[in-house]
Structure 1
Amino acid sequence: MATRTAPFSGFEFLIAWRYLRARRAEGGVSVMTWISLIGIMLGVAALIITLAVRAGFRAEFVDTILGSNAHVTVYSAPQEVVAGTGIFSSLMPDYQDRAERIRKVPGVTRAAPLIRGQAMATFDDRSNVADVYGISAEDLATIPRVANPKTSRGDLARFGEGIAMGSELARELGVTLGDRVRLISPNGAKTAFGTSPRVNAYEVVYIFTAGRWDIDRTRVYMPFAEAQSYFNREAGADEIEVDVTDPERVDDWTPQLIAAGGAGTMLWSWRDASGSFLRALDIEDNVMFVILAVLVLIATMNITSGLIMLVKNKGRDIGILRTMGLTEGSVLRVFFLCGAFTGVIGTAAGVALGVVFALYIDQVMAFVNWLNGGGAWDPSIRGIYALPAKLQPWDVTKAVALSLGLSFVVTIFPARRAARLNPVEALRYE
């Protein structure tokens, strides 16, 4: 009568390892083992790389939004300027008081009045549309992505003497520090003959790179008082941009900000502006995970085919082991370990490959860019200048759990088949 042994005893590991590395001439399936191992490795690596790139892209995209734009914008609903005239305006004449009340809201880190308008920026024979932001020098210095000395040129202390311009806009206009750029606005001085365009020339004293192509290509900062005069907003401000301590929970501040802003206050948060795009990214992440999970499943199915061949080739050995007293459970565990070894080794190699690829994503993209002759990553389409990767422990854990889980599950069927093999039938024709 067969005696029971402790599950996963040392001899079971030795037999499984011996079968796994046996040559084909000895009845092994080393080629199938290598195919399974490489397939799992590539599947796990692809899953980790994809998750890291998607996480990095989202983090960089959100960081460029929050680092150069307001977390929430406070503006006023249009109100009739003079009763009965039918003339409405959303200008905030009491912007200083509003900004002061908003700054006192717990969790608010910044409240900066703004003037916003559009103008045509021209230099020599080049021109481009510019989004002009009128802001004080003190408030401009608190914008992280704009006031970063590592990615900017010029002296921010001279902002009161000229304008600050995005690097892409400066490049397209051919502008360098010290050049004078003309800004042309269609809403200029009102005369008896109509409204004439307003044309002013300003020295470029600061050139910044915010990290977002659309911002760097269009944005111009102008001193607040000058912007009031240039856009005929002497009576007030267009809006107040507000930053909070936790931008991901910006909606929690809605009641307090509306109360501090007073009657007619309206809000527009960064989630309102970019929420649909971020939701699309989340959906794409889920779809990509499912697709790559299917690829990992296909790779693990090679384990099943390899084990079925191994069971067929090792029928005589199974019969001998059973007659020597090996139980069905021991045989099942031996062949389960054969498949598990492949899954574990393939998963470990895939994690190593995926992590290395994600850590050296810049060098990989530089090589791809060289192969394509440049232009492999177009910031005008993707918004940011580089393909980032952000390794997160949870993403790596998901990939490992998926790979190991599938590897163990697909191993059970051929292992059960080996355990149920009748030793008499296996040895009858030997």
Structure 2
Amino acid sequence: MASRTTPFSRFEWMIAWRYMRGIGADGGVSIVTIISLLGITLAVFALVATLAVRSGFRTEFVDTILGANAHVTVYASARTTEQGGIERGIQDYDGWAERLVRVPDVTRAAPLIRGQIMANANGRNAGAEVFGIALDDLRGIPRVAGAEAELEGDLARFDEGIAIGSGLARELGVMIGDRIKVISPEGVKTAFGTSPRVNAYEVVAIFTAGRWDIDRTRIYMPFAEAQSYFNREGLADEIEVMVRDPDKVDDMAMSLLQQAGDGALVWTWRDASGSFLRALTVEDNVMFVILSILVLIASLNIIAGLIMLVRTKSRAIGILRTMGLTEGAVLRIFFLCGVATGVTGTLLGLGLGVLFVQNIDFIFAVVNGIGQGGVWDPSIRGIYALPAELRLVDVLKSAALSLGLSFIVTLPPAWRAARMNPVEALRHE
């Protein structure tokens, strides 16, 4: 009777290693092993790199949203004026702001004036959106005037002019100190109707928020000047609220409504960008499933390699079985052959993926240079560069998927080898 052996003994590792090398006339087996190894390596690399890019894109996109826009916008519901018109402005905007900032975890509440205008300079025209805001409140916007912003000019002179986005500055061909015309169709009201209002302002600051649509269209104007320019004397269009944890804005909505008072409405950053973020989530899940299938296909090469190995080594298996090797030992030997390929390919793929993420800026610059700057269009993707964020959970998911599939696909051919009849294996020898 065959004696029992300790699982994964040293001789089992030695035999598995000899089989994997494909010595002598059986060298073709090693070629299949190399192909399987390359397939798993490239599949895991693609999975890690894709997950890192998707995580980086999502993080950068959300960061630019939260860093340059209100986390919560509070505005007044429409009401009828004494003249029969419709008014949506906030009259007691200072009182609203003072009450809103009392809500726990609210860091800032700033009255705003918003309006659409046409900007003109150097014979060029561009549509833009004006945000009327006080200087102290402007300094509290991280991506515009905070530590995260790329700012040119002197923001201390904000009350003497306007601050514009870098994309708009390029579009109009202006620099610090230049003047641009701001044209609003809703200007001076006369007996003959409303005539456009045209004012010229000095550019005192140029900011880069990191979002193409913001840098290309946004102008910040002193709050009092914006009230006068847009005929909003004594009114504010909305209150811009910043909170400590933007992920909890939905839980704060009721408290904000209660503090603002009757007739108040709220609009959170999730309401504004929720559909896009949900689309990103769906895309991330679909991408993970597709790349998981790619890893599975690469892992199936292990089956082909092991089937070839079992057929090639059938005589050796028969001899080992007649010498007393158990079925379990044979199963473990061929299991080690397949698992070694999966583990090695997984580690190499993880290494390549991490290396790719760490050097993505250089790789992106090279690819964009080859494509003459047309590979990444910020007007479509919103941000200026391809970001990547390596997360431990993504690395562990990739490793677990690859190793799990490698272990599973290894079992059928290893079990077949273990169940081989030694008499049948040696009959024709």
Q: How does 1:380-391 map to 2 (within 5 A)?
A: 380-391=379-390
Distance in 2 (alpha carbons) for counterparts of 1:151 and 1:161: 21
Aligned residue number for residue 88 of structure 2: 90
Distance in 2 (alpha carbons) for counterparts of 1:374 and 1:254: 43
Task: Describe the superposition over 1:204-248 as per-residue Cα deviations: whole angstroms up to 9, x where unpaired.
Answer: 000000000000000000000000000000121000010111111
Task: Describe the superposition over 1:347-404 as per-residue Cα deviations: whole angstroms up to 9, x where unpaired.
Answer: 0000000111111111111111122222110000100000000000001101000000
Q: How does 1:99-110 map to 2 (within 5 A)?
A: 99-110=97-108
Kindly state the Cα deviation for residue 425 of structure 1 after the two structures are TM-superposed.
Answer: 1.2
Kindly state the Cα deviation for residue 24 of structure 1 after the two structures are TM-superposed.
Answer: 5.9
- The one-letter amino acid paired with 1:67 is G
Aligned residue number for residue 120 of structure 1: 118
Distance 1:126 1:407, change over 3 A: same
Distance in 2 (alpha carbons) for counterparts of 1:238 and 1:106: 24
Aligned residue number for residue 343 of structure 2: 344
Q: Does the CA contact (< 8 Å) of 1:27 and 1:313 recur in 2?
A: no
Aligned residue number for residue 13 of structure 1: 13
Distance in 1 (alpha carbons) for counterparts of 2:197 and 2:277: 39
Distance in 2 (alpha carbons) for counterparts of 1:405 and 1:117: 57
Aligned residue number for residue 174 of structure 1: 173
- The one-letter amino acid paired with 2:43 is G
1:187 and 2:186 aligned: yes
Q: Residue 187 of structure 2 aligns to a residue in which SS?
A: coil
Aligned residue number for residue 141 of structure 2: 143
Distance 1:275 1:9, change over 3 A: same
1:230 and 2:229 aligned: yes
Distance in 2 (alpha carbons) for counterparts of 1:159 and 1:329: 79
Q: Residue 267 of structure 1 aligns to a residue in which SS?
A: strand
Kindly state the Cα deviation for residue 26 of structure 1 after the two structures are TM-superposed.
Answer: 3.5
Aligned residue number for residue 401 of structure 1: 400
Distance in 2 (alpha carbons) for counterparts of 1:152 and 1:268: 28
Q: Does the CA contact (< 8 Å) of 2:140 and 2:146 recur in 1?
A: no
- The one-letter amino acid paired with 1:165 is I
Q: Residue 377 of structure 1 aligns to a residue in which SS?
A: coil
Kindly state the Cα deviation for residue 23 of structure 1 after the two structures are TM-superposed.
Answer: 3.5
Aligned residue number for residue 312 of structure 1: 311
Distance in 2 (alpha carbons) for counterparts of 1:380 and 1:120: 19
Q: Does the CA contact (< 8 Å) of 2:299 and 2:342 recur in 1?
A: yes
- The one-letter amino acid paired with 2:6 is A
Q: Does the CA contact (< 8 Å) of 1:19 and 1:28 recur in 2?
A: no
Task: Describe the superposition over 1:156-188 as per-residue Cα deviations: whole angstroms up to 9, x where unpaired.
Answer: 111011000000000000000000111011111
Task: Describe the superposition over 1:124-167 as per-residue Cα deviations: whole angstroms up to 9, x where unpaired.
Answer: 21010110000000000000000146611001111011000000
- The one-letter amino acid paired with 1:327 is T
Kindly state the Cα deviation for residue 27 of structure 1 after the two structures are TM-superposed.
Answer: 5.9
Kindly state the Cα deviation for residue 68 of structure 1 after the two structures are TM-superposed.
Answer: 0.2
Distance in 2 (alpha carbons) for counterparts of 1:80 and 1:303: 74
Aligned residue number for residue 283 of structure 1: 282
Q: Residue 144 of structure 2 aligns to a residue in which SS?
A: coil
Which ranges in structure 2 are unaligned for 5 or more consecutive residues? Answer: none
Q: Residue 353 of structure 1 aligns to a residue in which SS?
A: helix
Task: Describe the superposition over 1:57-111 as per-residue Cα deviations: whole angstroms up to 9, x where unpaired.
Answer: 00000000000000010000011122xx431201111000010000000010110
Q: Does the CA contact (< 8 Å) of 2:163 and 2:203 recur in 1?
A: yes
Question: What root-mean-square deviation, in Å, do the aligned CA atoms of Structure 1 and Structure 2 show?
Answer: 1.0
Provide the identity percentage: 67
Question: Matched residue pairs, number?
Answer: 428
- The one-letter amino acid paired with 1:273 is A
Distance in 2 (alpha carbons) for counterparts of 1:156 and 1:373: 35
Q: What's the TM-score, normalizing by structure 2? A: 0.98
- The one-letter amino acid paired with 1:174 is G
Q: What's the TM-score, normalizing by structure 1? A: 0.98
Distance in 2 (alpha carbons) for counterparts of 1:191 and 1:24: 99
Distance in 2 (alpha carbons) for counterparts of 1:104 and 1:361: 44
Aligned residue number for residue 34 of structure 1: 34
Aligned residue number for residue 80 of structure 2: 80
Aligned residue number for residue 203 of structure 1: 202
Q: Does the CA contact (< 8 Å) of 1:27 and 1:314 recur in 2?
A: no
Distance in 1 (alpha carbons) for counterparts of 2:123 and 2:64: 31
Distance in 2 (alpha carbons) for counterparts of 1:372 and 1:88: 52
Distance in 1 (alpha carbons) for counterparts of 2:347 and 2:422: 36
Distance 1:79 1:335, change over 3 A: same
Q: Residue 386 of structure 1 aligns to a residue in which SS?
A: coil
Q: Does the CA contact (< 8 Å) of 1:24 and 1:30 recur in 2?
A: no
Q: Residue 351 of structure 1 aligns to a residue in which SS?
A: helix
Q: How does 1:256-335 map to 2 (within 5 A)?
A: 256-335=255-334
Q: Does the CA contact (< 8 Å) of 1:27 and 1:310 recur in 2?
A: no
Aligned residue number for residue 63 of structure 2: 63
- The one-letter amino acid paired with 2:66 is L
Q: How does 1:33-52 map to 2 (within 5 A)?
A: 33-52=33-52
Q: Does the CA contact (< 8 Å) of 2:12 and 2:329 recur in 1?
A: yes
Q: Residue 186 of structure 1 aligns to a residue in which SS?
A: strand
Kindly state the Cα deviation for residue 22 of structure 1 after the two structures are TM-superposed.
Answer: 1.9
Q: Residue 237 of structure 1 aligns to a residue in which SS?
A: coil
Distance in 1 (alpha carbons) for counterparts of 2:192 and 2:296: 75
Moved over 6 A (4+): none
Distance 1:215 1:24, change over 3 A: farther
Distance in 1 (alpha carbons) for counterparts of 2:180 and 2:194: 22
Task: Describe the superposition over 1:297-326 as per-residue Cα deviations: whole angstroms up to 9, x where unpaired.
Answer: 110101000000000000111011111111
Distance in 1 (alpha carbons) for counterparts of 2:306 and 2:80: 80
